[in-house]
Structure 1
């Protein structure tokens, strides 16, 4: 248990717990709006930005953030162009992100460092990384707290929100940008290939056990925090990959809840 007292582990714990709040929280809104795959899309675009950051000597997370935000605006444009087939916007942007990342990966020897962003490298978080993650967390929590009523209406009935005079386009872009912010800082913690799990699985769990909007909000945060905390402890003690451990714990919780619900139905 000496690892718990190490500075790098304490930084990892702080960063993980911050992301354990924001990623499931944003994922909850995405799942309810049937945009679960936006996490994969933006993470692949962000990793292209990270690769460019390594290539140009710019702070990788900042470059990934710029790419993800740009992609979030592009997705909204494409969603309007393909109203009946809105999911095409995600497929197009994901393909573009993967294509650009594959080119950048092979453009310099330093690209080997990008592996930490693909699979997560929470133990290498710096104080600068923590400040970035903390800033994103503060922005997300403040926006959601201030705009909770509007987000509730938009999430459950976008047409009614538009009729009531709510600027739907603005809020759609806002949600996409907030998601891009969270994904950009989360990829160093759980990795671009796993970040969508932290966005969606806590929301999937809340759909099983929560009975109201507020309960769902609390549930996704609790599940995210518990998974991150337990995952980091298990990974630290048994020398496992932290990102993968967190994701597998989330899946285990989801399977357990599904089994419990099935057992209650059979028992009833």
Structure 2
């Protein structure tokens, strides 16, 4: 029996990755993110993004083990804040394996700032991305068993990522790419698609400039993960206005039942990418 943790920035496809890995007949997943279980929420939430906050892992492990099927080869967990505490997790869960993922910072910042349930603007989101990227750099260097890739690699070729996961952990035996996917009258929907072009186009030149002021403090992080800086421009602002107007119109059509969700997603992809 081994422990398997997904370490990913939030809003970066980690739930789909968790579903994919959990489709193995040899993996047991918690009902939801471990941090949200009622029995551990008090100790895992509140200061969850504070890297100095210490979690009582022995207590957490006992509670998680009540939900895992211990007859399975891999006990799977996914809580994004855990990427800050991977070293401690490795100490308390043996043997521990990790699958790490990160996302383009511009798309990440747009998604975080747009969410209604937080008070982050794009600059704060960029600070958040730096914190996560620094932690993932440490994780790649220090963890004993970790497979790492980007959201973009996963979204562009999920089959290739599936194969890399199975090469990393062949005991998983098989992963079902159909498991997390949608089906519609339009045919098979992919399990994940790269939303970066759509989200980046929503950013204005001012947004880009504010993000860059933060990211340029750590330019090596961008290079290490294979990301390029985007420069603000008038074209970016015009594209942002077009993207936001198109998105609002398409969402209104979906909300009013004029168009079903799969068609809206395909039109949005054609219009905005």
TM-score, with structure 2 as normaliser:
0.31
TM, length-normalised to structure 1: 0.31
Greater RCO structure (CA 8 Å; 6+ sep): 1
Decide which structure has the larger Cα Rg and report it: 2
